[in-house]
Structure 1
Amino acid sequence: MTIIGRTEMKVLYYQPACGISGDMHLAAMIDLGVPEDHLRSELDKLNLNVEFSINFEPGSKMGISGTRAEVQVVDQKHHRHHEKIVSMIKQAEFSGSVEARALNMFRLIAEAEAKIHDIPVEKVHFHEVGAIDSIIDIVGAAICLEWLGIERVLCQSVEVGSGYVNCAHGKLPVPAPATQEILSGVPCTYGTVTGESTTPTGAAILKAAVDEFLPMSAFVPAKVGYGIGHKDFEIPNVLRVVLGEIADQDADVLLTDVPKHYKIEANFDDMAAENFEPLAKDLIDAGAGDVYFTPIIMKKSRPATCLSVLSDSTHVTLLADMILNRSSTIGLRILPFAKRVLPRQIKKIETSFGQVSIKQVTQPDGRQRWKSEYEDVQLIAVSRGLDFRSVKQRIDFEIQKKLDEAQ
């Protein structure tokens, strides 16, 4: 009997003690194990091959070794407005998760620039971020985060630097206004290094990806990646990212005043039923925990449908925007809720029909119960031309016998 543990939550922990930039983040992701070939093949969907090349090589700062990223651009003068960048990403046909996360990162920067310059978001002209290298940094970040398949992203306080920085708008204090605006509500440290250590791109990556900013506890590190920066500071200019696990029963240690779970709801009495299925698929692909529909009766006795979407704090804004953009509703209800999950394991057990997965949970009183996975049983029944119910009964009998023998 093979047991695959699922009592742990897969977590990514950022440690930007010397800040974060887009190229450092890409380098850290590659150093952590994201395949270069996967990143390149996904970036090719942007159809920017003639405009850039990206190289990864070993690097080090003050004795700490890792990976350094270098994005080389053929024509850096080709800047883009926000709407052009949005169109480019949507036309690339990324997965829903990559598209939503990348668009959210750009939205954060666009809204920050719009607020600072007192202009509409659609009028924002990206000087630095519109450049190809920053587009690669942001879209690449979304690609890498999806590949890692993490369930939760955490981060310690972010070092932003001190002094002044030269940019398209002139000489500005550190952190740059856009960086400061994006990091609103995020724990930051100032002045550990002299110079700009966190860029608007790096700030947007963290703000869009991180579930909670807090010191780590009850964490079991499994793998570490280092992204090596190009600047020299008083301390090693590296971004450290740690992949690890947190036991489900220890997850409460990480609770803060910020809600972690949300339900997004909208009522529809004016949208064709055939439009719900693609909307639900897009929402799941973009990171929704679950999507379901409930028949309801609205005012004037109108038959209608209530859409319910479950989300974590990372994806709630993305999913809400997606519903408003892709459906007929003009308003949403966004409700925080508490969630309690029993510790569980996924076990693969050999039966006379072959290997079958079960989900086994432990109740508060210590007793355990289990259930065979429908997909495994259905596949066996179909492949052998047998009745599903009878196959399930035989499989469940064999599994229970093996579990009893293992005690």
Structure 2
Amino acid sequence: MMSRTLYVDCISGMSGDMLLAALIDAGADLQYVKRELEKLPVDEFDLWVDTVDKRGITAKKLGIRLPEVGGRQGHGHSHSHEDGHSHEHGNGHLGHAHGHSDDQGGHRKAAMILEMIRESELPERVIARSTAIFEAIAVAEGKIHGIDPADVHFHEVGAMDSILDTIGICLAMESLQVERVFSSAVPTGYGKVKMAHGLYPIPAPATAELLKGIPLAKSPAEGELTTPTGAGVLKALATRFGPLENFTVEAIGYGAGTKDFAHPNVVRVLLGQAVESTARETIHVLEAQVDDCSAETCGYVMERLFEVGALDVYFTSVQMKKNRPGTLVSVLCAPADVVRMEELLLRETTTFGVRQSVWTRRALEREFEEVETAYGPVRLKIGRLDGQVVQATPEYEDVARLAHMKDVPFREVYRAAVYENKKRSLSTESR
């Protein structure tokens, strides 16, 4: 089965403005993007692309003019890609988690921006994708600063840049009729970057948080190559990471950053048809039996295994030699994680050895969508088989958080999410 797919090739990392420029270069309608953005209650702006040369590659460079800062060409996103501003980080983008009011000091709460998006007249899929990106970034920044994601503040200029980039990307995808997003591994850059609170390591804290679970590539240059907005897009929208497979390319676009390196400072997008692969993926199963490991230790080990990337961990009660009751610890992991998992089991449990076997599995293609319930928004994990939805499961964390906030039973929020998803599915089928 074929599916309209966008492949993001992070040759030199990723920022929001670079991706939007690349999508326009690949054929997205810039005028459509601008018309839709102008429907939002945001300050007057101008958006355009210039053609530039990056080490012999012709690419599009996004330009933006925001009247409130006196007119400025190009974004202020990151030291690697842009012109020296750092709205992506503690100097504005989502880093100012201070107590400013929403109409003073040039700050807007993440919750206000999310509400603006949800109440807009943008296409439904654009609203869902934009919301997912902003929520991912707000959660990461909130964790770094130790505050509720809803209370994370956007600096005025950073908020404008982020709104235009993020929603612009989702509109460009809609213009190109993108159904799925895949990505290469992501180079982050290395070194240090100056932010509002001082020198920070690269990747910056929020970027690192967003890239958890995403494969990283060797960085071709010193400096900040991937920004929080870029990482947020991949975290929220990309469903597969790795090299291109079974992909028929229809269009290619290049989006340029500002800085020049020894390599082309561009992000490349390939638009085309991806064949749903029925190939089975390889996983490794690690096993260890213990009869002298406390319940507390087993619980701790399970947490640690998940933290370092285990696909699944489970315990089985077994009867061991000398008629002792024991526990079989089973760990499912990717081939690249085997050594790390084995060492953790050997160090943290009482076992003297770990068995390993290689299995194959066929997994549903997974993506996340959001439904609005009477209690608040809930993400659903959607499982597809040959393009058809066969599973839709509300995310535990979202359900538990709302149940606690609204003081209602967990099962009520869960049922509400399932009901809203069914209602949406029926509405889609009837159109």
Q: Does 1:138 align with 2:166?
A: yes
Q: TM-score, normalised by structure 2?
A: 0.59
Give the superposition deviation at 1:151: 3.0
Query: Match of 1:61?
Result: 54
Give the superposition deviation at 1:125: 1.7
**Larger deviation, residues 30-39 vs 148-157:** 148-157
Whether contact under 8 Å (1:9, 1:152) holds in the other structure is yes
Query: Match of 2:356?
Result: none
**Larger deviation, residues 37-46 vs 74-83:** 74-83
Paired residues in the alignment total 294
Q: Does 1:217 align with 2:300?
A: no
Query: Match of 1:202?
Result: 230
Counterpart pick for 2:41 among 44, 47, 58: 47
> Structure 1: which amino acid aligns with 2:19?
H
The root-mean-square deviation of aligned C-alpha atoms, in Å, is 4.1
Give the superposition deviation at 1:263: 11
Task: List structure 1 runs of 4+ shifted beyond 6 angstroms.
Answer: 286-290
Q: Secondary structure at the match of 1:331?
A: helix
Query: Match of 1:109?
Result: 137
Structure 1 runs not aligned, ≥5 long: 1-6, 272-278, 291-308, 336-373, 376-407
CA–CA distance in structure 1, aligned partners of residues 174 and 155 of structure 2: 27
Structure 2 runs not aligned, ≥5 long: 70-104, 283-360, 419-428
**Larger deviation, residues 20-29 vs 211-220:** 211-220
Counterpart pick for 2:150 among 119, 122, 125: 122
**Larger deviation, residues 122-131 vs 66-75:** 122-131
Q: Over residues 337-394 of structure 1, what are the superposed CA-to-partner deviations in whole Å (9 max), with x where a residue is unaligned?
A: xxxxxxxxxxxxxxxxxxxxxxxxxxxxxxxxxxxxx99xxxxxxxxxxxxxxxxxxx
Counterpart pick for 1:260 among 362, 365, 371: 365
Give the superposition deviation at 1:104: 0.8
Distance 1:10 1:262, change over 3 A: closer
> Structure 2: which amino acid aligns with 1:260?
E
CA–CA distance in structure 1, aligned partners of residues 368 and 219 of structure 2: 40
Q: Over residues 264-323 of structure 1, what are the superposed CA-to-partner deviations in whole Å (9 max), with x where a residue is unaligned?
A: 9x9x9xx9xxxxxxx9xx99xx99899xxxxxxxxxxxxxxxxxx94789x976xx78xx
Q: Does 1:13 align with 2:7?
A: yes
CA–CA distance in structure 2, aligned partners of residues 128 and 118 of structure 1: 21
Give the superposition deviation at 1:174: 0.6
Distance 1:289 1:64, change over 3 A: same
Q: Over residues 229-263 of structure 1, what are the superposed CA-to-partner deviations in whole Å (9 max), with x where a residue is unaligned?
A: 11112211000000122334xx2248577642489
CA–CA distance in structure 1, aligned partners of residues 391 and 168 of structure 2: 22
CA–CA distance in structure 1, aligned partners of residues 138 and 4 of structure 2: 31
Give the superposition deviation at 1:206: 1.3
Q: Look at both structures and tell me which one has the larger radius of gyration over its CA atoms.
A: 1
Whether contact under 8 Å (1:179, 1:203) holds in the other structure is yes
Distance 1:27 1:261, change over 3 A: closer
> Structure 1: which amino acid aligns with 2:191?
G
Give the superposition deviation at 1:128: 8.3
Distance 1:203 1:332, change over 3 A: farther
Distance 1:260 1:220, change over 3 A: same
CA–CA distance in structure 2, aligned partners of residues 173 and 100 of structure 1: 32
Give the superposition deviation at 1:141: 1.2
Distance 1:287 1:64, change over 3 A: farther
Query: Match of 1:32?
Result: 26
Give the superposition deviation at 1:78: 3.0
CA–CA distance in structure 2, aligned partners of residues 183 and 171 of structure 1: 20
CA–CA distance in structure 2, aligned partners of residues 195 and 86 of structure 1: 31
Query: Match of 2:64?
Result: 71
> Structure 2: which amino acid aligns with 1:182?
L
> Structure 1: which amino acid aligns with 2:54?
K
Whether contact under 8 Å (2:364, 2:383) holds in the other structure is no
Q: Does 1:235 align with 2:263?
A: yes
The 5 Å alignment of 1:380-395 reads: none
Distance 1:220 1:106, change over 3 A: same
Percentage identity across paired residues of the two chains: 36
> Structure 1: which amino acid aligns with 2:6?
L
Give the superposition deviation at 1:153: 1.7
Query: Match of 2:182?
Result: 154
Distance 1:62 1:53, change over 3 A: same
Q: TM-score, normalised by structure 1?
A: 0.63
CA–CA distance in structure 2, aligned partners of residues 135 and 246 of structure 1: 29
Whether contact under 8 Å (1:225, 1:241) holds in the other structure is yes
Whether contact under 8 Å (1:262, 1:316) holds in the other structure is no
Q: Secondary structure at the match of 1:94?
A: coil
Distance 1:161 1:262, change over 3 A: closer
Give the superposition deviation at 1:33: 0.5
> Structure 1: which amino acid aligns with 2:121?
E
Distance 1:289 1:147, change over 3 A: farther
CA–CA distance in structure 2, aligned partners of residues 84 and 262 of structure 1: 26
